[in-house]
Amino acid sequence: MWVAAVALLILGIAVRARAQSTKSRDLRVYFIDVEGGQATLFVMPSGESMLVDTGWPGANGRDADRIAAAAKAAGVTKIDNVVLTHYHVDHAGGIPQLAAKIPVGRFIDHGVNREDASVSGGAPTVASWNAYQKVLADGKYEHMVAKPGDVLPVKGMKVEVVSADGKVIDKPLPGAGENNAACANSPVKELEGNENDRSLGMVITFGKTRILDLGDLTWANERPLMCPVDKVGKVDVYVVSHHGFVRSGSPALLDAVAPRIAIMGNGGHKGGEPATFPIIQGSPRFKDLWQLHTVEGADKKNVADDHIANLATTRPDAGNYLLLTVHPDGKMAVTNQRTGQTVEYSK
């Protein structure tokens, strides 16, 4: 019996070792449908997770439920880091419902809300900010204010902050620093005077792949990142800024960062403006664009249906996500939950 017990112990150790050795070495990124807001879940090979934004409040907890469902699909039982790009209600409004639905370790943001209730759309922003402060006051969560140049305390990938609270990095990131010829023909726009200008933007590096997420950063505050010198450098994946509105994602940005693929978190009636498509698709290394929703309405433009997670005919409660799988060697794949189709991209 003693020999048998030892044999079973050795077998158990071997099985666990085999399971660990076959554990995924890939980064998985879930682009969760929050109907024109943002909620992007990064799951590292170690199992650590980072969620960028929390979607909308209300709707019977719809967005928190969709985030929790994606986390479950990824095998995540706790969100280690929630990064808030800014406090607009479609990005930070879902914080209380999320915190009630799934454990959170740390919240990361750009600092205080500076958008007054008197500006257009300001009242919901103030309400979103106040609800967030109430969650933080519970004292159960770590809290970090990030500044340009910071590297976030995330294990398994490098997250460099390039913009926050209306400021950008002073010096180019390693590998960047070239003069940007596209600046001459890229229109200059004024600041919007709201939270979009203050978006926390990140360059996320995993293996040989770089991902750019600038939240809703506006053209005016993109420009110091891009002109006259490109401080970011080439990226492989572009999380389309501001849901595809032309108030963000300037030609100067897209020409400089030259993504291979782009993923647009638009809604059926929010974002995805026609003028955005040629700016993205005309960038130097462009291969593919994916959308979370079909853009509906008379003045519209869309990619092929198989590159859209939620069609106009999809039932409203479907909430299909797009899954980006990033291999350490720089190869990538995008899976459309609606169709089950996967498209692979070589380095």
User: 265 pLDDT exceeds 50?
Assistant: yes
pLDDT at residue 8 in the model = 39
- With b for 16 or more beta-carbon neighbours within 10 A and e for fewer, the 293-325 pattern comes to bbbeeeeeebbeeebbbbbeebeeeebbbbbbb
In-domain check, residue 225: yes
Indicate the pTM of the whole model.
0.92
Q: Is the pLDDT of residue 38 over 80?
A: yes
Whether 70 is in a domain gets the answer yes
> How many folded domains does the chain comprise?
1
- What mean pLDDT is predicted for residues 73-92? 97
Tell me whether residue 172 is in a domain: yes
> Which residues make Cβ contacts (< 8 Å) with residue 333, sequence separation at least 6?
324, 325, 342, 343, 344, 345
- Structure confidence by residue, pLDDT tens digits, 205-247: 999 999 999 999 999 999 999 999 999 999 999 999 999 999 9
The CA distance from 297 to 3, in Å, is 73
Which is more confident, 23 or 237? 237
Backbone dihedral angles phi then psi of residue 206, each to the nearest 5 degrees: -135, 115
**What type of residue sits at position 131?**
A
Range in 22-26, 100-104, 244-248, 264-268 with the lowest mean pLDDT: 22-26
Which pLDDT score is estimated for 22? 39
Residue 29 inside a domain? The answer is yes
Fill in the amino acid letter for 154: V
pLDDT band at 14 (very low <50, low <70, confident <90, very high): very low
Q: Is residue 5 part of a domain?
A: no
CB-count exposure of residue 47 (10 Å: 0-12, 13-18, 19+)? middle
Amino acid 316: pLDDT: 81
In a domain, 145, yes or no: yes
Tell me what the mean pLDDT of segment 83-107 comes to. Answer: 97
Q: Is residue 157 part of a domain?
A: yes
Question: Exposed/middle/buried for 238, CB within 10 Å: 0-12, 13-18, 19+?
Answer: buried
Does 17 score more than 90 pLDDT?
A: no
Residue 9 has pLDDT above 50, yes or no: no
Q: Could you tell me the residue range of the domain that residue 175 belongs to?
A: 25-345
Does residue 330 belong to any structural domain of this protein?
A: yes
pLDDT at position 23: 61
CATH code at position 176: 3.60.15.10
> Is the separation of the CB atoms in 165 and 198 below 8 Å?
yes
* Residue 253: predicted pLDDT: 97
Across residues 52-65, what is the average pLDDT? 96
Q: Using the predicted structure, report yes or no on whether residue 321 has a pLDDT greater than 90.
A: yes
Question: CA dist 339 to 68, 119, 255, 268, 306, Å?
Answer: 21, 42, 31, 18, 7
Could you identify the residue written with the tokens 């958008």? 115
pLDDT at 62 over 50: yes
